[in-house]
Structure 1
């Protein structure tokens, strides 16, 4: 069978999970595997960059979407994954699957699907959201299950006691191989697969993601440090950074979702969020997957490493009700 992975990953965490599952399906079970970068599609097609269910000024004929359509038409199995932001998938991911972007016949060969998510601090049932997105287009396909992994964080610390991590918890890493094996074993006997149930989500409300910028303020650039390299412009997944009249980057505060990619990846640390007290940088472009375990002290980069609190502790601290 041909397995297609569509993954939204900023720091490499979710992409690593997808690649690990794909390696098992390819090497252990002989399936052909293809990986699609959802972030590149969203950026190239200009999806999800406005506060509207459907974005304006979209480019639905871009090469990235054409490649996706071709791969979907050939795929038997679809895997969809992303990192969790405000207990939601990222803006634009749902729009890729809109009927105006992908026609119904493109999904006609999809027989099975599964989902996977990564989160930093607080786990949320985004698997149901992703499963609903696919099920809305492939009602005939069987659901093979969901994998949720706690991973290193690469965002501004909204919960100061958590700080940053660039090491993986070995307990979380140990979940990946069994999930890949379970998918592979199920596909051995496709005629007898029983679809796993999930909660269908009637409506996805992204208002909480858009509210983040109100708490942090839009990013600002220190012109004395900025070398006008345009790295931030090229990396922004939402196309909200433009070059101003002086050659320095400027942010559209109404569309910025504070993914922090520009903040973390600026080579001269010229970008900051002035409203966030005590903000500091994780400063990595991709986690080091050879380092496992989270403990007290500091790593070789001098980053603070402390154990993650349990979800219920976070809920209590923030006054949230699970």
Structure 2
């Protein structure tokens, strides 16, 4: 079964930079489903988008022992890792494999893939009205990778693939990149107060808060729906925000702006609208990578073109 890792990440509040409060994850519906599925699974794959040559900030916490007890990994015999990037290739898939290997006793590593997708980072998205297209060669690579996984699983002589182990600390580079992006703001004149940004933020960095005369309302009686002078506004916690751009790309009113780059002039990219198809025989799910809407194929823009977008 396929689970949205960022939804698991969000509901467990793993993006909290402080001490994570003790939570019984089995009481959270999606976590209960995930852990039940994991406990009987033979294969697990873990993926992430890349951020400055590394997996997304804090995302590897999801496989820490303090989050998932060892009992849930007992039936795992194989694992694989994958990452997506829109511009720079990286070894983030190796870092994921390294972390998984520490938890998965005697499981064999099936392989890894760094998948090149259309960019979703706002400052280098195309202008409004334009969009980048998927490269069909990447879909072919993904299909080939899937076939390799199946072949290795059924090969009795398969000993496991290799992955690179690196002690290079990229934390400083990630921090520098993060600071260079500036801050995220909400245009209250465009905002619909619909809560899409709050629901989509994996780091729980956006909250809809009630304001009255420019001040956050603390008195619950004053914040009741319809109370005179009360306005509900999405507020971004800049400390929690990791600039993943989910809020930007999903906002129906285009009200989110990366201020430093005036991204209100840029298009949005939500990613493929993947379709989960139920397989009747075993009631498992698979992903239709082509999505519910036809995916337009073309050539992904080169690195130089992407970088030049920051300038105009």
* Pair in the same fold by TM > 0.5: yes
Structure 1 CA distance, aligned partners of 2:204 and 2:22? 12
Cα deviation digits, residues 237-289 of structure 1 (max 9, x gap): 10011223321111111121111111222111222122225663332433365
- Alignment partner of 1:41 is 2:8: yes
- Alignment partner of 1:199 is 2:164: yes
**Offset at residue 66 of structure 1 (A):** 2.3
The equivalent of 1:280 in structure 2 is 265
Assess if the C-alpha contact under 8 Å between 1:77 and 1:111 holds in 2. yes
The equivalent of 1:293 in structure 2 is 298
Assess if the C-alpha contact under 8 Å between 1:241 and 1:249 holds in 2. yes
**Offset at residue 202 of structure 1 (A):** 4.7
Q: Sort the Cα spacing of 1:79 and 1:289 in 2 relative to 1 into closer, same or farther, 3 A.
A: farther
The equivalent of 1:261 in structure 2 is 246
Which structure 2 segments of 5+ residues have no match? 212-231, 273-292, 308-312
**Offset at residue 65 of structure 1 (A):** 2.4
The equivalent of 2:229 in structure 1 is none
| CA RMSD across the alignment | 2.8
Structure 1 CA distance, aligned partners of 2:131 and 2:177? 21
The structure that has the greater radius of gyration is: 2
Q: Tell me which of 286, 302, 305 is aligned to 1:308.
A: 302
Structure 2 CA distance, aligned partners of 1:99 and 1:278? 39
Q: Sort the Cα spacing of 1:127 and 1:282 in 2 relative to 1 into closer, same or farther, 3 A.
A: same
**Offset at residue 204 of structure 1 (A):** 6.4
- Alignment partner of 1:242 is 2:213: no
- Alignment partner of 1:166 is 2:160: no
**Offset at residue 207 of structure 1 (A):** 4.9
3-state SS of the aligned residue for 1:174? helix
Structure 2 CA distance, aligned partners of 1:88 and 1:289? 31
Structure 2 CA distance, aligned partners of 1:132 and 1:202? 11
3-state SS of the aligned residue for 1:272? strand
Moved over 6 A (4+): none
Structure 1 CA distance, aligned partners of 2:247 and 2:168? 30
Structure 1 CA distance, aligned partners of 2:168 and 2:105? 17
Which structure 1 segments of 5+ residues have no match? 1-33, 295-305, 315-322
- Alignment partner of 1:57 is 2:30: no
Q: Tell me which of 224, 234, 255 is aligned to 1:270.
A: 255
3-state SS of the aligned residue for 1:244? strand
Assess if the C-alpha contact under 8 Å between 2:132 and 2:301 holds in 1. no
The equivalent of 1:21 in structure 2 is none
Q: Sort the Cα spacing of 1:101 and 1:274 in 2 relative to 1 into closer, same or farther, 3 A.
A: same
Q: Sort the Cα spacing of 1:48 and 1:208 in 2 relative to 1 into closer, same or farther, 3 A.
A: farther
**Offset at residue 141 of structure 1 (A):** 0.8
Structure 2 CA distance, aligned partners of 1:58 and 1:38? 20
Assess if the C-alpha contact under 8 Å between 2:196 and 2:251 holds in 1. yes
3-state SS of the aligned residue for 2:159? coil
